[in-house]
Amino acid sequence: MLCAIRNSLRAPLASVGRLFHTTPAQATEKFDHKRIPQDDEGVQGEKLVDLDSVLKAKQNLFPTLESDDLLFDGTPYKHLPVCNIRVSHNNTIFTLTDAAGVVKLLKSCGVEGFKNTKKGTNIAAQTTAISLAMKAIDRGIKTVRVKVRGLGPGRLAAVKGLQMGGLDIVSVTDTTRVSWNPPRPRKARRL
């Protein structure tokens, strides 16, 4: 009886024809591969931007020996407060320290009121960053360096939240630890 039911279910499927069909592309004009372009058709963008001036402006992008003494709002770079952001899949933790490493403010997504899996979201990280930035500004801290550690959904949202909260971010450093001798992977799953 079970075979009869299976065969009755297969019968309508076998009679249905192929429903997928294609049509050839409708080109308006034929492209001639042998034609030589008249006036460098694809390089107008090169003439619009002077690359040399852009490269000279980017020379200060990477730190040098003199970078520690650069002034930001009247404070040398090495004396600026540091906002450490610890990002994991389950939570995002912010600590605002002075240049010596003494903790001034500490906030996490859990402290901010997010529970369970919502703590690990980028919205929670951004909201927590905005509230930390407001508290920092109330304490007189306006310009900070940022150090991000860890991999999680709130990495970019945390930095953006600090900026939205009104802090001036001078530099963003990624201090995520990399294991050069990782643990052995799990054995392959048998199927």
- % of the chain exceeding 70 in pLDDT: 68
Residue 85 counted as domain residue: yes
Residue 117 counted as domain residue: yes
pLDDT tier at 103 (50, 70, 90 boundaries)? very high
Amino acid at 122: N
Instruction: Please give the DSSP secondary-structure letter assigned to residue 182.
Output: P
- Strand pairing partners for 8? none
The range of the structural domain enclosing residue 154 comes to 67-174
125 CB-near residues (< 8 Å, 6+ apart): 87, 92, 109, 153, 154, 155, 157, 158, 161
Could you tell me the sign of the dihedral formed by the alpha carbons of 70, 73, 74, 77, in that order? Answer: negative
Q: What are phi and psi of 93, to 5 degrees?
A: -120, 130
Which domain CATH number covers 155? 3.30.420.80
CA angle 181, 184, 187 (to 5 degrees): 165
- Computed over its alpha carbons, how large is the radius of gyration of the chain? 29
Residue 99 counted as domain residue: yes
Residue 151 counted as domain residue: yes
Q: Report pLDDT for 37.
A: 56
What total number of domains does the chain contain?
Answer: 1
Tokens, residue 116:
């369970």
Residue 2 counted as domain residue: no
- % of the chain exceeding 90 in pLDDT: 47
CB 149 within 8 A of CB 87: yes
Residues 62-102 have pLDDT tens digits of: 777 787 888 888 888 889 999 999 999 999 999 999 999 99
Residue 39 counted as domain residue: no
Residue 144 counted as domain residue: yes
Which residue's entry shows tokens 């001639």? 32
pLDDT tier at 137 (50, 70, 90 boundaries)? very high
Residue 128 counted as domain residue: yes
CB 148 within 8 A of CB 158: yes
> Could you tell me which residue, 57 or 46, shows the higher pLDDT?
57
